Structure 1
Amino acid sequence: MGKILLLGDRYTVSLFKLMGTEGKSLEDPYQLEKELEAVRRREDIDLVLITRDLYEPVREKVDVLMANQGKPLITVIPSPFSESKPIDVKKMVLKALGFG
C-alpha cells in the first residue's frame, strides 16, 4: 500500500504528521512545482495532498501537472489559512477512478 504525502504550511504538515502522514513544509508556493516533480519519481507515494494556500498562487502550472498525472493522485485540501469550500467527495472519487 502506498503512502500519502502532504505538501503545505508548517502547521498543517505538523497536524498530518501526528496522524502518521509524511509531509513537507513549503514556505514559498513557487517551490511546489519543483517538489511535485520530485514526488512523481517516487514509487511509494499514491496520494499527494496540497494545501490550498500553496496551490492558489501557482494554480495554472499545478493544474497542468495534475491533468497529466496518473500516479500519484494529486488533490488540494483546505488549510487553516485558506478560505474553505465544501469538498465534493463524489467528484474526487470519480476523478481518482479516471472518470473525472
Structure 2
Amino acid sequence: MGKVVVLGDRYTVNLFRMIGTEGLVLDDPLNLEDTLVKLKKREDIDLILVANDLYNPVKEKIESLVIDQKKPLITIIPTPFSQGQPLDVKGLILKALGFG
C-alpha cells in the first residue's frame, strides 16, 4: 500500500499528520511545481493531496501535471480556510487506496 502525502499550509498539513499521512508545508505556491515533480518520482506514494489555496495561484502553470498524472494520483482539496464543501478525508484516502 502506498503513502498519502499532503501539501499545504501548516494547519492543513498538521491535521492530516494526525491521521498518519506524510505532509510538507509549502509557504510559497511557486515551490509547488518543483515539489510535485520530486514527489512524482517516488515509488512509495499513491496519492498527493494539494491544498487549493496553494494550487490556485499557479493553476495554469501546473495544471498539466495534475490532470495527466496517473500514479501518484494528485487531488486538489479544500482547506479549513477555504469556502466550499466539507472534506471527507477518510473517504478520499479509501478511494485512493482502492477501497471506496
TM-score between the two structures when normalised by the length of structure 1: 0.82
Q: CA deviation at 1:62?
A: 2.3
Letter aligned with residue 30 of structure 1: L
Letter aligned with residue 61 of structure 1: K
SS at match of 2:6: strand
SS at match of 1:36: helix
- Identity in percent: 56
Query: Would you say 1:79 and 2:73 are equivalent positions?
Result: no
For residues 85 and 17 of structure 2, the distance between their equivalents in structure 1, rounded to whole angstroms, comes to 23
Letter aligned with residue 56 of structure 2: E
Q: Which runs of 4+ in 1 moved over 4 A?
A: none
SS at match of 1:6: strand
SS at match of 1:4: strand
Extract unaligned runs of 5+ from structure 1: none
The number of residues matched between the two structures is 89
1:31 counterpart residue number: 31
For residues 23 and 58 of structure 1, the distance between their equivalents in structure 2, rounded to whole angstroms, comes to 20
RMSD of aligned alpha carbons: 1.8
Equivalent runs, 1:31-70 vs 2, <5 Å: 31-70=31-70
TM-score between the two structures when normalised by the length of structure 2: 0.82
Q: For residues 37-59 of structure 1, what are the alpha-carbon distances to aligned partners after superposition, in whole Å with 9 as ceiling and x for unaligned?
A: 00010000000000010010011
Q: For residues 6-64 of structure 1, what are the alpha-carbon distances to aligned partners after superposition, in whole Å with 9 as ceiling and x for unaligned?
A: 00000010110010000000000110000000001000000000001001001112211
Q: CA deviation at 1:67?
A: 2.1
1:16 counterpart residue number: 16
